[in-house]
Amino acid sequence: MAEQAYEVTGDGWLTVGDETVTTGDEVVGTAVVIYGSGRETLLSFDPFSSWFMSSKERPTLGGTRIKTRKRNIAAPLDPATFADAVVQIYLDNAGDLELIAKSIESSDLNFSRYGDTFFEVVFTGGRTQPGTTKPDEGERHTYSIIDCEPKREAILPSVIYIQKILRRRPFLIKNLENVTRRFMQSLELFEENERKKLAIFTALAFSQKLSGLPPETVFQPLLKDNLVGKGLVLSFITDFFKEYLIDNSLDDLIAILKRGKMEDNLLEFFPSAKRSPEGFSEHFTKEGLIPLVEYNEKKIYEVKVKDMKSALTTQIAEETEVSEVIENVKQRVKDAKLPDTEAVRILWDVLMDAVQWSGKNQQQNANSALRQVKTWAELLNTFCTSGKLELELMYKVQMQCYEDAKLMKLFPEIVRSLYDQDVLAEDTILFWVRKGTNPKGRQTFVKSLEPFVKWLEEAEEEE
């Protein structure tokens, strides 16, 4: 039984013998007509086909146009062949990324199946051995990211090139994630210079907002104990920070760290021997990243303040002995290197937050606030050790009463209670009345305090 291959046209379906072919106005493929058993049927065919072996007259469909189909690059059937095809595109275009992108766009390569292999070729110049970054057998090119100079001007074109590829084939972002994650986990397999190139590429990728590359894909795989312990991660992340901050602000960097779930865990990039606030400051100060050092110190400070507030709130709720609370606060103030003025503000905030306010009932609110002042007067006294700190407390009371409508009328009563408990001295109150600098609600509060001030002044004259 012989076989015959033909070029056919059309967009409808017609059954010929046991085969299904398309017919109509456009060439769509090759029909195979099987001869035998008295079922010989000819529609149309390519007269130049080397398969044509019949000596019969060649019938055609009336009005049918015979066209030669334009052949595309055949899709490879395995990763090695795919990699070789991509490498050949690089070589044919002498590393010109603009031309390479156009050639890839017009090709019929199976990117959906071999996306990981494609990015291996982009990064390393060829296919890598499974589970490693070592070159596999096959063609290679020298225009990869790993082969270029460790400078932004040399690497930026590759970032832009990948961006173009992803815009045309957005599904490839998952493959870029896969390869990036694998490279991050395999930093020890790269040379120092190559790791620097990867760090610069990663920084530029985020700086250029490379389509959809999530920060956790970069940061989380780095936290392997062996990589961190050898200092490879710290070196990589330092190069990354330095490169990224050339074109971006510290706030931009922090935003990326937040998305990568690393904002509060920067010390995890450090080997255990250097994993301390002091080690962090020393390292990044030496690298010239002072804003990052200041940011980290602020974060540490905020965490300690938060812990202090939480512990104090718990002790107040549990009605812990005042002496024990005082010792706890003293220790936390020392550990956090908290300024005395900040300690006073925190104490007042926590004490007032613990009050059970009763909505619009002014008398109940007044009683609750005054009871809290009386209960914890010794704690306030311990830290209001100078006129300056007492004045700071008065400003804090002023602001709270100004910002909270239900406390507006309680200002004179609270001040009087603090005076009665020896937290505020007479001189401090009079100084605030005469020379206070905070204007918020001041006029109202000074007027409401007039009877008490008058009493203080009369007592002062009598003395």
Average pLDDT over residues 42-63: 43
Spatial separation of the C-alpha atoms in residues 375 and 346, rounded to whole Å: 17
Buried-exposed string 381-417: b where 16+ CB fall within 10 A, e elsewhere: bbbbeeeebbbbbbbbbbebbbeeeebbebbbbbbbb
Residue 217, Cα to own-chain centre: how many angstroms? 9
Buried-exposed string 157-181: b where 16+ CB fall within 10 A, e elsewhere: bbbebbebbbeebeebbebbbebbb
Q: 10 or 144: which carries more pLDDT confidence? A: 144
Task: Tell me, yes or no, if the pTM score tops 0.75.
Answer: no
By CB atoms closer than 10 A (0-12, 13-18, 19+), residue 272 is exposed
Spatial separation of the C-alpha atoms in residues 233 and 269, rounded to whole Å: 6
Q: Express each pLDDT in 87-121 by its tens digit.
A: 999 999 999 999 999 999 898 899 999 999 999 99
Question: Is residue 366 over pLDDT 90?
Answer: no
**Please, are residues 122 and 70 in contact by the beta-carbon 8 Å criterion?**
no
Q: Express each pLDDT in 120-173 by its tens digit.
A: 999 999 987 776 666 667 788 999 999 999 999 999 999 999 999 999 999 999
Residue 179 pLDDT grade (very low, low, confident, very high; cuts 50, 70, 90): very high
**Please, are residues 276 and 267 in contact by the beta-carbon 8 Å criterion?**
yes
Indicate the SS3 state at residue 179. helix
Average pLDDT over residues 72-85: 73
Spatial separation of the C-alpha atoms in residues 79 and 110, rounded to whole Å: 10
Nearest to 176 by CA among 212, 149, 152: 212
